[in-house]
Chain A
Amino acid sequence: MTSDIILSMSHIRKEFPGVVALDDVSFRLQKGEVHILLGENGAGKSTLMKILSGAYGKDRGNIFLDGEETQILNPRHAQKLGIGIIYQEFNLNPHMTVAENIFLGREPVNRLGIIDEKKLNRTAREIIQDLGVNIDAGKKISEIGIARQQMVEVAKALSLNARILIMDEPSAPLTRNEITRLFEMIRRLAKRGVSIVYISHRMSEIYEIGDRVTVLRDGKNVGTRNIAEIDRRDLIRLMVNRDLDERYPSRTAEVGEEILRVEGLERKGVLTNINFRLHRGEILGIAGLMGSGRTELARAIYGVDPVSAGKIYVRNKLANINSPRKAIRLGMGFLTEDRKSEGLVLVLSVKENITVPSLHKYLKFGVLNFKRELETVNGYIESLSIKTPGANQMVINLSGGNQQKVVLSKWLCCQSDIFIFDEPTRGIDVGAKAEIYSLMNLLTSRGVAIIMISSELPEILGMSDRMLVMHKGSIAGELTREQANQEKIMEYAIGEHRNYN
């Protein structure tokens, strides 16, 4: 790492109608460093990076590239200047090959103007090799996994001679192994002199990959530090400006009678012989690697996907759950992994989202009673402290944590007593996470049973009373809170051991 300043953004200000998104923010990036950009949702990280990558204009301030003042006109211009950005949602065409995607819009052509396929594939292979990853350039994007897709995005940016690479929460969709590979690649790039801006929430990663960190809070830069010189607690304090205990709230709920029993559940090719019980007041953690069938299990119980065999008993009664409607009637609520695409109707209001599954309660002779609906919804906004200007705000405008609370209210409103949380805190900032955890505790203390699927081992360990570890579509092991630790869970998850069925 050298200390050449490659980029300097100074006194940047950006306003949106009614909000100051960035207020006098300065940011300097050195050649070949991995610079973490940290902050709660809405702190201004994305806005700052969108200005850098030309997606937004700035209202005030200057940008210097290699010491020279530069106006970044649009995303294309930013690319030309050597600034590449990789968003959480990839910009890849799933029906085209890896090589075609890398060179989309600037395919090498021969003299006749026909695309030179050979050259296209050869150059793509070279770039991929150079990255030190193993991807078949001729495969379609839809045929490769999400981790490889991300590498293709990186390859695409590098093929444009990116000197500055912005990565927005790149590890979010990846498994631990994939993350390790991602980090190896990032280190190689940094060594070559590429500067990386790495946006993340995950504390452990920050210390693993970062050289320096800049913390934004409420649109202001509250400090840039060398990672080696700041500890976790200080970093969190800097971020949220309050002492925040990252530990999990203690579990005090008493485990009661059985509420759900699954016997011999099968779904051809996806789930095999699943057996477990769930009790009132209990949080049952489900761990496992990506693709081990955790979400599929939840979907099968909830009646989304058909099952080929097995029985489900709810409150000791055999239940035939063939649709989410049935599941809801039996008191289940499903908080999906992907809130935006499955959990919420983003263009509808907080109120409308919360009451969708329980709408019949507000009908009188088939007519909606707005007053009662609003009262109920306002009650949840207050008791869950959902940060929104009002019940009629579109949920698309809320932060991740508040969106999750809306989904939660939706099921509370139905008086559900079996909750399935799939990745309850994904994409949610530290402050909101703690709130979600205490809400889960509150629920269990009232006799609600929770199934919690999570990829974050600390979360599983910190919140579950009991945990099941899945491997290749079946349950590989069951652990109590006392027995469990990260190593044991991983052993079951990767198929080293089995102690179940």
Chain B
Amino acid sequence: MMQIQNLRQFGTFIGLLALCLLFWILSPYFFTVSNLLNIAQQTSIIAILSVGMTFVIITAGIDLSIGSVLAFSGVVMASALHAGVPIPLAILVGLGVGYLSGTVNGLLISYGKLPPFIATLGMMSIARGLALWFTNGRPVSGFSDSFRFLATGDILFIPASVWVMVIVYLIAHFVLTRTKLGRYTYAIGGNEKAAILSGINVNRYKNIIYGLSGLLGGLGAVILTARLNSAQPIAGIMYELDAIAATVIGGTSLMGGQGTIFGTLVGALIIGVLRNGLNLLGVASFIQQIVIGAVIIGAILLDTQLKKQKE
């Protein structure tokens, strides 16, 4: 596993470097400290969602609800803030809403035996509906500076949201490689039957993993709300697809059992760098979409090609 995964990751990482090199040559504005921080900040939300998605996809599942869960957590948290709830508590409420939504996904999948695609597709609609219903369809806007600091403030010259992302990635990498939860995530995705026969409480771990994905949706909502100074019930539409793309570009197999957190970060950065670089170059919006699609397909082609070679 190590060899193929390293190779694959290495390839993705080289791809990211090549992309950076290309934009560096083409645009004088690309390789500046402020632009690189800008990219990191812009990537942070999708990157955080992708962490949960990576866990979920390694178990051979999928979470289509994450964009909607983000919106729902966001509006509940924002309403709490408007109701005068102290910031840390309001954030906990937002994270809690995300965690609960994710856990519902988990329960439907583990005990309800629903395919993850269906369960989270349903939750995608439910969470979005709840967000719209909760707010009457209107955004909840205007927060204190101390809350907005989470997205707009700098700590040691680096945006706070980038710090959050880095910390989430360090923790997630640690959990995935060095804890029981991480090891079981791989085992469940690689062969669920074998996992059960090896005594893993698969249902319980699925609940935790989908809950985790929802929790990170809530965290994404905190940053997005702080960044926009507004929680929109229509926020995060199709973010799940960006998160899936980042995860898959980063080498996580949709078949389950394989993937790394580091790879996902590279995947998210590839998408972020592409969007940024194409903007800097003034490439027409429609062409940007074509290029991003081509890169996703290219990355997966690379993956299948590598696997073929391995055989």
Q: Report if A and B touch in the complex (beta carbons < 8 A).
A: yes
Chain A residues proximal to chain B, CB less than 8 Å? 17, 302, 304, 323-325, 327-329, 334, 336, 341-349, 352, 355-357, 359-360, 363, 366-368, 370, 392-394, 410
- B180 and A345 within 8 A (CB): no
Rounded to whole Å, the gap between the CB of B247 and the closest CB of chain A is: 16
- A392 and B179 within 8 A (CB): no
- 15 residue pairs bridging A and B, Cβ less than 8 Å apart: A17-B309, A302-B197, A341-B194, A343-B194, A344-B191, A345-B190, A345-B195, A346-B190, A348-B190, A356-B200, A359-B184, A367-B178, A368-B180, A392-B1, A392-B2
User: Within 8 Å CB of A355, what residues of B?
Assistant: 183
User: Within 8 Å CB of B178, what residues of A?
Assistant: 367-368, 370
User: Contacts A345-B257, A347-B258 given: A336-B187 contact, CB under 8 Å?
Assistant: no
A433 to B199, CA, bound (A): 27
| Chain B 178-213: CB-based contact to A (< 8 A → 1; otherwise 0) | 111001101100110111111111000000000000
User: Contacts A344-B191, A345-B187, A346-B191 given: A304-B197 contact, CB under 8 Å?
Assistant: yes
- A360 and B180 within 8 A (CB): yes
A342 to B198, CA, bound (A): 9
- A sample of 19 more A-B contacts (CB under 8 A), given A343-B194, A352-B187, is A17-B309, A323-B199, A323-B201, A324-B196, A325-B200, A336-B197, A342-B194, A342-B197, A343-B197, A347-B257, A348-B186, A348-B190, A356-B183, A356-B187, A356-B195, A359-B183, A367-B174, A368-B180, A410-B198
User: Within 8 Å CB of B184, what residues of A?
Assistant: 356, 359
User: Within 8 Å CB of B187, what residues of A?
Assistant: 345, 348, 352, 356
Nearest CB to that of B178 among chain A residues?
A368
User: Within 8 Å CB of B201, what residues of A?
Assistant: 323, 325
User: Within 8 Å CB of B199, what residues of A?
Assistant: 323-325, 327-329, 357
B158 at the interface (CB under 8 A from A): no
B171 at the interface (CB under 8 A from A): no
B155 at the interface (CB under 8 A from A): no
B4 at the interface (CB under 8 A from A): yes
Rounded to whole Å, the gap between the CB of A422 and the closest CB of chain B is: 11
Nearest CB to that of A326 among chain B residues?
B199
User: Within 8 Å CB of B177, what residues of A?
Assistant: 368
Rounded to whole Å, the gap between the CB of B143 and the closest CB of chain A is: 36
- A368 and B194 within 8 A (CB): no
| Chain B 26-40: CB-based contact to A (< 8 A → 1; otherwise 0) | 000000000000000
User: Within 8 Å CB of A329, what residues of B?
Assistant: 199
Q: How many residues of B contact A (CB 8 A)?
A: 27
User: Within 8 Å CB of A17, what residues of B?
Assistant: 309
A355 to B184, CA, bound (A): 11
Nearest CB to that of A359 among chain B residues?
B180
User: Within 8 Å CB of A393, what residues of B?
Assistant: 1
Rounded to whole Å, the gap between the CB of B229 and the closest CB of chain A is: 38
Rounded to whole Å, the gap between the CB of A304 and the closest CB of chain B is: 7
- B179 and A367 within 8 A (CB): yes
A367 to B179, CA, bound (A): 5
Nearest CB to that of B255 among chain A residues?
A347
Nearest CB to that of A396 among chain B residues?
B1
Which of B174, B190, B200 gathers the greatest number of chain A CB atoms within 10 Å? Answer: B190
A334 to B195, CA, bound (A): 12
Question: Residue A342 contacts which of B1, B193, B257 (CB distance < 8 angstroms)?
Answer: B193
| Chain B 284-311: CB-based contact to A (< 8 A → 1; otherwise 0) | 0000000000000000000000000100
User: Contacts A347-B257, A367-B179 given: A352-B198 contact, CB under 8 Å?
Assistant: no
Rounded to whole Å, the gap between the CB of B100 and the closest CB of chain A is: 24
In B250-272, which residues have CB < 8 Å from any A CB? 253, 257-258
- A304 and B1 within 8 A (CB): no
A51 to B191, CA, bound (A): 30
Rounded to whole Å, the gap between the CB of A82 and the closest CB of chain B is: 26
Which of A341, A343, A348 gathers the greatest number of chain B CB atoms within 10 Å? Answer: A348
- B190 and A324 within 8 A (CB): no
- A348 and B197 within 8 A (CB): no
User: Contacts A349-B2, A356-B187, A392-B1 given: A366-B179 contact, CB under 8 Å?
Assistant: yes
A343 to B198, CA, bound (A): 8
User: Within 8 Å CB of B197, what residues of A?
Assistant: 302, 304, 324, 334, 336, 342-343
In B193-239, which residues have CB < 8 Å from any A CB? 193-201
User: Contacts A344-B194, A348-B190 given: A394-B1 contact, CB under 8 Å?
Assistant: yes
A352 to B1, CA, bound (A): 10
- B193 and A341 within 8 A (CB): yes
In B1-32, which residues have CB < 8 Å from any A CB? 1-2, 4
A334 to B196, CA, bound (A): 11
Which of A325, A327, A345 gathers the greatest number of chain B CB atoms within 10 Å? Answer: A345
User: Within 8 Å CB of A348, what residues of B?
Assistant: 1, 186-187, 190, 257
- A349 and B198 within 8 A (CB): no
User: Within 8 Å CB of A367, what residues of B?
Assistant: 174, 178-179
Nearest CB to that of B188 among chain A residues?
A345
- B180 and A324 within 8 A (CB): no
User: Within 8 Å CB of B179, what residues of A?
Assistant: 363, 366-368
User: Within 8 Å CB of B193, what residues of A?
Assistant: 341-342
User: Contacts A356-B200, A368-B178 given: A349-B194 contact, CB under 8 Å?
Assistant: no
Which of B174, B196, B198 gathers the greatest number of chain A CB atoms within 10 Å? Answer: B198
A324 to B200, CA, bound (A): 8
Question: Residue B1 contacts which of A325, A347, A366 (CB distance < 8 angstroms)?
Answer: A347
Which of A302, A323, A324, A392 gathers the greatest number of chain B CB atoms within 10 Å? Answer: A324
A357 to B2, CA, bound (A): 21
User: Within 8 Å CB of A323, what residues of B?
Assistant: 199, 201
- A363 and B198 within 8 A (CB): no
Which of B1, B178, B191, B257 gathers the greatest number of chain A CB atoms within 10 Å? Answer: B1
Q: Which 7 A-B pairs have the closest CB atoms?
A: A345-B190, A328-B199, A347-B257, A325-B199, A345-B191, A394-B1, A357-B198
A342 to B192, CA, bound (A): 8
Which of A302, A344, A352, A394 gathers the greatest number of chain B CB atoms within 10 Å? Answer: A394
A363 to B182, CA, bound (A): 12
A352 to B183, CA, bound (A): 8
A392 to B195, CA, bound (A): 19
In B145-183, which residues have CB < 8 Å from any A CB? 174, 177-180, 183
Rounded to whole Å, the gap between the CB of B55 and the closest CB of chain A is: 16
